[in-house]
Amino acid sequence: AQRVTQPEKLLSVFKGAPVELKCNYSYSGSPELFWYVQYSRQRLQLLLRHISRESIKGFTADLNKGETSFHLKKPFAQEEDSAMYYCALSPWDKLIFGTGTRLQVFP
Amino acid sequence: DVKVTQSSRYLVKRTGEKVFLECVQDMDHENMFWYRQDPGLGLRLIYFSYDVKMKEKGDIPEGYSVSREKKERFSLILESASTNQTSMYLCASSLPTGTGFYEQYFGPGTRLTVT
């Protein structure tokens, strides 16, 4: 079955602390994986995708096929990072989303 | 800049009413999608469409139908609204896979309340 698991509903950290949002997936082929973010009162938008291997707003995510994981990391959290984060798997033209993790960054 | 617009930000309807949610995109995208977003459940795909007059069921199509008469417009229809369809509805569009950079662009959402 194709599935995306985000085990944490809420992650709370203080400004300057490292952040890791966990994502595990289940997929039999070669997946395309994404992180989407939704800031308060804004629309859902793409944060990054695994094949681009880039850092966006200080966030990075590495695909680990052995552990079937695609965790999102940032070394130093900022208050403006507070948002809802969704991991998504694309088997073809569709996206399969995880249940999301709300990140709260306290000053 | 891709624009995906949804006809209403907030909608309140009564149980049993027929409800139309409209979505329009201006980037000539082939693919369009309807999701519902619920706390603790994430985004779940209701229906999607690869082209005009084409539609495919997603993971939770029961109680919904769709219409795509024009490439830029994708409508979600609740034939007889029920309280368990109270949710945030998100529309998205994208280019087809194989065109290079694949990304779904989302509308602002419609918060539907069924009383």
Number of alpha carbons in the 13 Å side-chain half-sphere of residue A20: 6
A32 shares contact with chain B (CB less than 8 Å): yes
Task: Give A79's DSSP letter.
Answer: G
For residue range B4-24, what is the model confidence (pLDDT) as tens digits? 999 999 999 999 999 999 999
- How confident is the prediction along chain B (115 residues), in pLDDT tens digits per residue? 668 999 999 999 999 999 999 999 998 888 999 999 999 899 999 999 988 989 999 999 999 999 999 999 999 999 999 999 999 999 999 876 565 456 889 999 999 999 9
Q: Which residue among B4, B42, B97 places its CB closest to the CB of A97? A: B42
Contact A93 B97 (CB under 8 A): yes
**What is the reported pLDDT for B98?**
60
Instruction: Please list every residue in chain B whose beta carbon sits closer than 8 Å to the beta carbon of residue A32.
Output: 102
Contact A99 B42 (CB under 8 A): yes
**What is the reported pLDDT for B102?**
66
* Cα–Cα distance for residue pair A86/A9, rounded to 1 Å: 11
* Cα–Cα distance for residue pair B35/A10, rounded to 1 Å: 22
Triad A107, A81, A56: Cα angle to 5°: 140
A25 shares contact with chain B (CB less than 8 Å): no
What 3-state DSSP class applies to A35?
strand
* Cα–Cα distance for residue pair B22/B70, rounded to 1 Å: 12
Task: Give A11's DSSP letter.
Answer: E
Strands B105-106 and B42-49: unpaired
**What is the reported pLDDT for A58?**
92
Number of Cβ within 10 Å of residue A79's Cβ equals 11
Low-confidence ranges of chain A (pLDDT < 70): none
